[in-house]
Amino acid sequence: MTPPLQPLLHDLVGVVLAPTSVLSDAGGQIRPGVGVQGVFRADARVLSRAELRLDGRELEPIAHAPDGPHGARFVGLARWLGDPGPDPTVRVDRLRHLDGDGLTEEIVVRSTAAVPVRALLTVDLACDLAPIEVLKSGGSAPSLPAEAGPDGLTWQAGGTTVTVTGEDAAVADGALRWPIDLPPGGTATLRWHLLVEDPKAVVAAPAGPLPWSRPEVTAGDHRLTRLLERSLDDLQALRLTEAGDPDGTFIGAGVPWFLTLFGRDSLWAARMMLPLGTDLAASTLRVLARRQGTRDDPASGEAPGKIMHELRRHEFHLAGNGLRLPAAYYGTVDATMLWVILLHEAWRWGLPPERVEPLLPHLEAALGWLAESADPDGDGFVEYRDTSGRGLSNQGWKDSGDAVRFHDGRRATAPIALVEVQGYAYQAAVGGADLLEAFGRPGAQRWREHAARLAERFRAAFWVDGPLGAHPALALDAAKRPVDSLTSNIGHLLGTGLLTAAESAQVAAVLATPEMSGGFGLRTMSTTDAGFSPLSYHCGSIWAHDTAIVLSGLAETGHGAPAARLADGLLGAAEAFGYRLPELYGGDERTLLGRPVPYPAACSPQAWSAAASVAILRAVLGLHPDVPNGRLEVRPLPGLPFGPVTARGLRIAGATIDVSLDATGTAKVSGLPADIAVVAA
């Protein structure tokens, strides 16, 4: 018997306004028992069926498109109605919009027929309140009994109440029903509404305005502006707070599986969005600091000073693989260091001292974790191992079970010291030292010395010779052997300070090879490695955020040409995906289909994929602020690879600034505070 498989997502149409999201087919239908179609609120499916029919027949879908940041429009035909002949004369537009409490759908039936049109329109409904992890495991849940009212249906279970009402609708047999009677050329507009009451949800919609700016961007390459527009809509839609904390905004990781607080994902998204202001970074840091670990708990992975991985309403149990994660799970090796790095970078972008200072005790606790719990065997490297037997076996950003492989395809055994994690540790130690010194707290010299020792040990232990040249290994395994595959992870070292200039140039060279950069972005693993597969989750696919991180590091370390090539790959992928970059996609050659092959279970929209658009913009403009020292260094990508660019409405030190690159590649910055000077490279 074939075990249940995770549902495919690539051909579904998503609409999101966190914590609510909708996944339907291309015609707008939500079909029962078909994968993960449905309306979701936080971690539960609150509507498992919403099928529209005219006279018991389904429409023929012909088009769909976004309708604003939180909506979609579906167009279908009823060719059996209206005038005979080849041209359709009865069309139905289905407009779906999310609001703070649920969903509204408007159904517009238009006739251009010369004869009257009469029909019965029905919307069949069901609710199962299936937990998201059950659906991710390929499972399902039975439909709940519905209580019928005069104009709608209600379902209740576990404290959650789901209500659907139809304006002027009759209710029968689990469906809303409207008679349609159109004169020649007539139109009818019908509406139904979904309302969800879920007092046990751990996440909620945020209050107040966006905590970031929405810049106006023009570029010679219109793909860049289109990607930014769609991505900023999606980032707005992915905003969340913890229930009971309406001001603690962060970005939920992605639809449908991860629409909640994820330490790593939320931190990276906030970091990429620093050119739009520091408010999101400040609130993300504060939310995660409030849940910073205080005790040692092997079951949850919690440790003193450690930053959490993910938050759920209950245990997250994926059937079939033994994974049982507690509601608050700390099984991440990198989130703690990424928290420190974000605090340091937000300070450099102008986060005011009075907002930095309350976070300094959490900084010291995070550095304490780095000094102690992060290195259990005392060899000087940060490493991980799941000691519970129920958690994630790999705890870096590549967290699938087969993600850490040798060049010959063998899997590494834990404890594992990942390459990029050592770069994060170095950057966190140096950035933490800067903050401690700037705010008059002890320990700065200790952490600079820690970083220097780490760089020396790293240089001796991690470098290997591979088919494409020397490069850092993916990791060290339990026996301290270098895991010698060539992966995108090494690109995360660029810009951390761990590498010398010569080492950065060598990393840039191997990443620029066709074996790594021949697809629409950066492959997660080289085609020369035995574990490579273009549709492997972490061993050959392309992730938008991963590519954006690496191209940012390439740009920062002066390797503009490979950075521009990776950015061009992301823009090509964005065009193919309607400018909503999914979580990941296939790592095939660009020439294979002329467009990327979808990874069929990828989340979309997804936080750090959407935030990658801002990272590309920053790399193109070359913005490197150091507000505490009164500097803004501007180092645009050479050669204007995306034409002249103007960005109006970026933020540095709380000021709204404009940045432009003219046809000669000359940068101009206006609106900076008087105490910040522009320094050209």
Domains detected in the chain: 13-201 (2.70.98.40), 204-661 (1.50.10.10)
* Residues recorded for the chain: 681
d(CA 670, CA 656): 9
- C-alpha to C-alpha distances, 466 to 211, 409, 486, nearest whole angstrom: 45, 14, 8
| pTM confidence score | 0.97
pLDDT at 2: 67
pLDDT at 416: 98
H helices of 462-584, in order, are 501-511, 514-517, 544-556, 560-576
Give the dihedral sign, CA 93/98/99/104: positive
- Tokens representing 499? 């590498």
pLDDT at 211: 95
pLDDT at 274: 98
> At residue 141, what is the residue type?
A
d(CA 571, CA 521): 9
d(CA 234, CA 198): 23
- Tracing tokens 């099984």 back to the chain, one arrives at 331
d(CA 659, CA 645): 8
Burial class (CB in 10 A: 0-12, 13-18, 19+), 606: buried
Task: Find the farthest-apart pair of alpha carbons in the chain and give their distance in angstroms, rounded.
Answer: 85
Contact 30, 50 (CB under 8 A): yes
d(CA 493, CA 360): 25
Rg (CA), the chain: 26
d(CA 155, CA 501): 62
Contact 238, 251 (CB under 8 A): yes
- Tracing tokens 């055994």 back to the chain, one arrives at 413
Any idea what DSSP says for residue 657? Answer: E
Segments of the chain with pLDDT less than 50: none
Q: Is 361 helix (H, G, I), strand (E, B) or coil?
A: helix
- Tokens representing 5? 């498989």
Beta bridge partners of 204: 241
pLDDT at 84: 93
